[in-house]
Amino acid sequence: MRVALEALSLRPGRASWLLAGWLAVVPALAVAQAPGEEPAGAAPVPAEGRIADRVVAIIEGQVLSLSELEFETRVALIQRGAMQAAAAPLDEETLKGALELAINQRLQVLSADRLEAFTAEQAEVDERVAAFRDQFDTEAGFQAFLAHYGADLRQLTEVLTRSVRAERILDSRIRPRAQVGEAELLRYYQQHASEYPEGYATVKARLREKLVRERYSALATEELNQARASAQVRRVAPFAREARP
């Protein structure tokens, strides 16, 4: 079974636009579920308990390991309700998409770090950590998930903090340009009136959200491609080298 992020239900509003923006340049993340199997591609755990790892990419001098990428992928999927990602195998297409997302996030955050800008609000980070925790039925299940992938609460918090910052950075650059004026909204309705027999007043809010979402996604693609153009990114793993921005 495969679970695509874009297929999961999203609440309308800001979070939907942010996610649409990221996914505009990232293949859908998916989980290939096979009962009874260990996570595919996950590094085996030797008897002494240390995880054999390897580099998948180097982003502006920062090394991204396979174990980090897999953990971040599972966190992203679980955040969106795909609880099978806690243990199910991850296929290469999933990891390719996750790698592009990881690169995008890191480039946004590195850019902000140079300007000492866009720090994450601790309250928002705490809220994300709590929401992630709540995806698990028990605290023991949550702790077992972290332990299984050699992570701890500090590492999870770092992943979620980076996600918060990257979203806010991208949003600050895009949202002002993604707005749709009244004249543009009316013009779109007039050009597609046959599709909306219920009338302009009834569909106005829905049309505005549609147009803003589409523009937001297009602008996100443009913004992230510009960041890639001037960045030093080296993909090392075979599946990583096949990915393209």
pLDDT in tens, 1-26: 344 444 233 333 444 444 444 544 44
> What confidence score (pLDDT) does residue 52 get?
59
Average pLDDT across the chain, whole number: 81
Give the list of residues 6+ apart from residue 45 with CB closer than 8 angstroms, or none. Answer: 51
Neighbour tally for 90: CB within 10 Å: 22
Give the max Cα distance, the chain.
68
Question: Per mean pLDDT, which range of 44-53, 64-73, 134-143, 185-194 is the poorest?
Answer: 44-53
CATH for the 5-11+26-180+232-238 domain, from 1.10.4030, 2.60.200, 1.10.10, 1.25.40: 1.10.4030
182-209 in b/e form (b: 16+ CB < 10 A) is eeebeebbeeeeeeeeeeeeebeeebbe
How confident is residue 241, by pLDDT bands cut at 50, 70 and 90? low
Residue pair 208/185 in contact by the 8 Å Cβ criterion: yes
Structure confidence by residue, pLDDT tens digits, 192-211: 999 999 999 999 999 999 99
Domain spans of the chain, in order of start: 5-11+26-180+232-238
> What confidence score (pLDDT) does residue 219 get?
94
- Check pLDDT > 60 for residue 121: yes
> How buried is 238 (Cβ within 10 angstroms: 0-12 exposed, 13-18 middle, 19+ buried)?
exposed
- Check pLDDT > 50 for residue 244: no
> What confidence score (pLDDT) does residue 243 get?
45
Side chain identity at residue 132, one-letter code: F
How confident is residue 44, by pLDDT bands cut at 50, 70 and 90? very low
Predicted structure pTM score: 0.75
Q: Distance between CA 223 and CA 59 in Å, rounded?
A: 17
- Check pLDDT > 60 for residue 70: yes
Which H helix or E strand runs over 233?
strand 233-235
Q: Distance between CA 55 and CA 69 in Å, rounded?
A: 10
> What confidence score (pLDDT) does residue 134 get?
96
